[in-house]
Structure 1
Amino acid sequence: MPSPENASTSSAPETSDIKATATFKSLGLIDPLLEALEQLNFKTPTEIQTESLPHALEGRDIIGVAATGSGKTAAFALPILQKLWDEPKGLFACVLAPTRELAYQISQQFEALGASMGARCAVIVGGMDLPTQAIALAKRPHVVVATPGRLLQHLEETKGFSLRTLKFLVLDEADRLLDMDFGPAIDKILKLIPRERTTYLFSATMTSKVAKLQRASLVNPVRVEVSGKYQTVSTLLQHYLLVPLKDKVVLLIYLANSMAQNSIIIFTRTVRDARLLSIILRTLGFPAVPLHGQLSQSQRLGALGKFKSGGRKILVATDVASRGLDIPSVDVVINYDIPTHSKDYIHRVGRTARAGRAGKAITLVTQYDVELLQRIEKVIGKKMDAWPTDDEEVALLKERVHEAERLAINEIKDQDSKDGGHGRKRRRDTGGGGADDKDRDDDVVEAGMPTIKHKKSRR
């Protein structure tokens, strides 16, 4: 998509010499930030950082087109913190993010990079207590990281809270923000913040919705694009596994069994399947934990923490976990459900093979999914390899897997009958928040089950 008329584009030829020799110091960062970067082991700037930081430090609005995992959080956090060093007064910046997990991750990076200057952040997302958040806002944090729905709710309902002193607005993962129907909430927020501000918009793709948003919210921006067309990294080995629909769960357990020592993220299309598969895996002795929109925020953070720390080897997730989250050591991504959109596939498999490391992605393809597989292969520009299976071993697994599936279905029925509709009341009590409710469904506790130790051979 061509650059909009009011955006100048950072050209690669002019910056090629800078890229070859760029350091964080040569880009103009101050000593407190250089020290923080060294402590965090950030050695050299990424391409998006090299391209955008000089313009950002000059005070320009930025449109950054970069894939997830490209280092864009530091690309917008560093210039904000550098300006904060000069003007440490009140609520200084607001970052809008599409998911709660990404909001917490952005806040952690701000606090780590700004530790020596005492930068204070508040995370304002759905699923958490409103009065507690109001207290955090009253303490005048320097940076608010929020999902749009919950931020708008505080702007409209929390006495004494406003963004009148705001100097920076960041729209992170703007394409996802708009895909999740946050547009109306963002429009209202833009009317409640100062026109005189610096705005950064970062997006993996430049859709027509994002172009419309940038025209409404940025002034004479510099456009920095480092991602080119959608692609997967060369260190990622990509496979497909043709499976009959009726044996899909069995083949998933076969894969988990054959890669038992690896850290694995399994992506499902629905919350029900994420719940079901996590219980089946635990029933069969696999250390699995679910991550989906029906868990409370504390449960979601707890699940993510267990997986990141290695306490659980398998994370069963909906697309809540597909973008933005930095989980350093994921060995394998399994697409239990093939994504409908090719870009969702690229975001999912981008959870592995990060920062130059190797990784595997395996996509289960039923007889109804072949066309979707071909579409993904066309977008990524390569053919996937078939994943080999041992038919005899698969056959040995069937009986125990179907029994575990039956137990899991009954457990979910029991959970839902106990919940009995109270979840929706809890959701109303925590307050609305526009589109943020899409990512904040009924709180469901996944109860543990006694596990049956799995074996690779016949019982």
Structure 2
Amino acid sequence: MAAGGGEGQAAEPEAAVEPEVAAMEEPRSFKDLGVTDVLCEACDQLGWKMPTKIQIEAIPVALQGRDVIGLAETGSGKTGAFALPILQALLETPQRLFALVLTPTRELAFQISEQFEALGSSIGVHSAVIVGGIDTMSQSLALAKKPHVIIATPGRLVDHLENTKGFNLRALKFLVMDEADRILNMDFETEVDKILKVIPRDRKTLLFSATMTKKVQKLQRAALKNPVKCAVSSKYQTVEKLQQYYIFIPSKFKDSYLVYILNELAGNSFMIFCSTCNNTQRTALLLRNLGFTAIPLHGQMSQNKRLGSLNKFKAKARSILLATDVASRGLDIPHVDVVINFDIPTHSKDYIHRVGRTARAGRSGKSITFVTQYDVELFQRIEHLIGKKLPAFPMQEEEVMMLTERVAEAQRIARMELREQGEKKRSRNDNDDDTEEAIGVRNKVAGGKKKKRKAF
């Protein structure tokens, strides 16, 4: 049965999945969950003192060799919930090309790889990241070395399965689909279908998702055998230690209000979410012109630049990361103090994922959502989804208005810089086209010369 398909099909009754795991006596350590000593030490070195709720639910079941559906909110420790059982199984039966982790975004793939390498460093585990935006030849060489774990986005993996000589997944023992709802929402259904057809039926499958959509239920029926459902949170919610606010502002003064809040909460680290790549870049330039250490992260940047931005922010070399929703799910950046929704998310569920970047792993955090005269309905939908009315963030309007002149000048400079960047990009593309044309002409000439030589 195909894993993809439309939303229209009715979901199978829940009888297809075993009921949620019964509450057990709260384990105090990973050892209590059945994790072997060498991996417990690795957890300790990573600073994982106590298992999270999803780890408590999923790890014992996965260690028993059962298929798992894990439903958990963002920032709940899902990577550990599937990485530890895979590494423990690998210790028991060492094998190359042992596990495949499918994930929706490049950044999340690199992050999962880091966790596998860190947890498995003492037992010599090797992983390969197979994602778009990176040279396929170097990836083919990495696959030829037969890593233990492959972490991949579905599109690029299918490219290698179809075109890389000698590469197959016929010996695979574990399949993980992380952020399954998002993989399917990004229209990877065809690719997931192709992957399911070429991997062994006799495997363990772990499916993790923030939401149980009809598409995810359909994928579950296609890919999992008699799974156990481990649900930590069945309704949409934000964590308790997150202080959530909104500010209602006129659209034309958004930049001034942003600068005011960054000044008011100076000393914190910020993630600011914008709706488009262009606005992310513009706002980053604006803030830099005003002396803030801001750095952008969006889909129009090269993979190296995206990883560079992320690493600078993680290393605290920059205190403000401006991002599109490419960064709203799955990325584990431990020190985000404040999330600002500069542009309100169009889909209410994205609000949960955005604000989930702060108040992680038991820490506290703040989120502030900008609501303009055009966003009232979207904001009401968010409040309805999370089941609470948000308080207004305390503001001094006069102080905001005092910033408008400086902000207007910074806006003007940012627009000029953005235009210059666009012109440089166009010029580079034109040069690339010219180079390709020149190479084409040279090849034709060379081909002609070869033919002449053959003629004599």
TM-score by length of 1: 0.89
Quote the residue 2:292 is aligned against.
286
Pair 1:418-2:409 in alignment: no
Query: Is 2:108 the partner of 1:98?
Result: no
Q: How far, CA to CA, are the matches of 1:347 and 1:274 in structure 2?
A: 18
Structure 2 counterpart of 1:137, from 135, 143, 159? 143
Deviations 1:407-431 (A, max 9, x none): 211211221122117569989xxxx
The answer for the alignment partner of 2:233 in structure 1 is 227
Report how far residue 4 of structure 1 moved.
3.5
Residue 15 of structure 2: SS of its match in structure 1?
coil
Residues of 1 paired with 2:193 and 2:235: CA distance?
Answer: 29
Q: What SS does the corresponding residue of 1:26 show, helix, strand or coil?
A: helix
In structure 2, the residue matched to 1:51 is 57
Distance 2:432 2:30 in 1: 47
**Residue of 374, 377, 384 corresponding to 2:380:** 374
> Aligned letter for 1:411?
E
Match of 1:197 among 186, 203, 211: 203
Contact 1:267 1:317 in 2 (8 A): yes
In the alignment, structure 1 residue 71 sits paired with structure 2 residue 81: no
Match of 2:216 among 210, 221, 226: 210
Gaps of 5+ in 1: 428-459
1:11 aligns with 2:17: no
SS class of match (2:402) = helix
Aligned length: 423
Which residue identity is paired with 2:108?
Answer: L
> Once the 2 structures are TM-superposed, how far is the Cα of residue 2 of structure 1 from its aligned partner?
8.0
Aligned to 1:122: 128
The answer to whether 1:32 aligns with 2:42 is no
State whether structure 2 residue 329 is matched by structure 1 residue 323.
Answer: yes
Contact (CA 8 Å) 1:3, 1:223: kept in 2 or not?
A: no
Shift of 1:9: 2.1
Distance in 2 separating the partners of 1:394 and 1:10: 51
TM-score normalized with structure 2 length:
0.90
Residue identity opposite 2:422 in structure 1: D
Matched residues in 2 for 1:401 and 1:250: separation? Answer: 6
Contact 1:101 1:325 in 2 (8 A): yes
Letter in 2 for 1:11: V
C-alpha offsets along residues 331-387 of structure 1, whole Å, 9 cap, x if unaligned?
110000111122110110111111221111000100011111111112112111111
Q: Which letter maps to 2:56?
A: T
Structure 2, unpaired ranges of 5+:
1-10, 434-456
SS of 2:117's partner is: helix
- Structure 2 vs 1, CA of residues 181 and 422 (structure 1 numbering), >3 Å: closer, same or farther? farther
Q: Report the Cα distance in structure 2 between the residues aligned to 1:372 and 1:10, rounded to whole angstroms.
A: 33
Q: Return the alpha-carbon distance in structure 1 between the equivalents of residues 166 and 430 of structure 2.
A: 29
Q: How far has the Cα of 1:246 moved from its partner?
A: 1.1
1:295 matches 2:301: yes
Tell me by how many angstroms 1:100 deviates: 0.8
Q: In 2 relative to 1, CA 425–408 (structure 1 residues): closer, same or farther, beyond 3 Å?
A: same
Greater displacement, 91-100 / 389-398: 389-398
Instruction: Label 1:426 to 1:46 Cα distance change in 2 as closer, same or farther (>3 A).
Output: farther
323-332 vs 384-393, greater mean Cα deviation: 384-393
Instruction: State the Cα distance separating 1:22 from its structure 2 match.
Output: 4.6
- Give the deviation of 1:3 after TM superposition: 5.8
Which of 296, 303, 318 is matched with 1:312 structurally? 318
Give the SS at the match of 1:400: helix
Assess if the C-alpha contact under 8 Å between 1:126 and 1:150 holds in 2: yes
Kept in 2, the 8 Å contact 1:6–1:219? The answer is no
Q: Residue type of the partner of 2:279?
A: D
Higher gyration radius (CA): 2
CA RMSD of the aligned region, Å? 1.7
Matching residue's letter, 1:39: Q
- Match of 2:140, as an amino acid? A
Partner of 2:446: none
| Per-residue Cα deviation, 1:94-149 (whole angstroms, up to 9, x for no partner) | 00011111101111111111111101000111111111111111111000001111
- Equivalent residue of 1:8, what SS? coil
In structure 1, what is the equivalent of residue 273 of structure 2? 267
Where in structure 2 are the equivalents of 1:237-256 lying within 5 Å? 237-256=243-262
CA distance in 2: counterparts of 1:297 and 1:16, whole angstroms: 43
Q: 1:229 to 1:2 in 2, by over 3 A?
A: farther
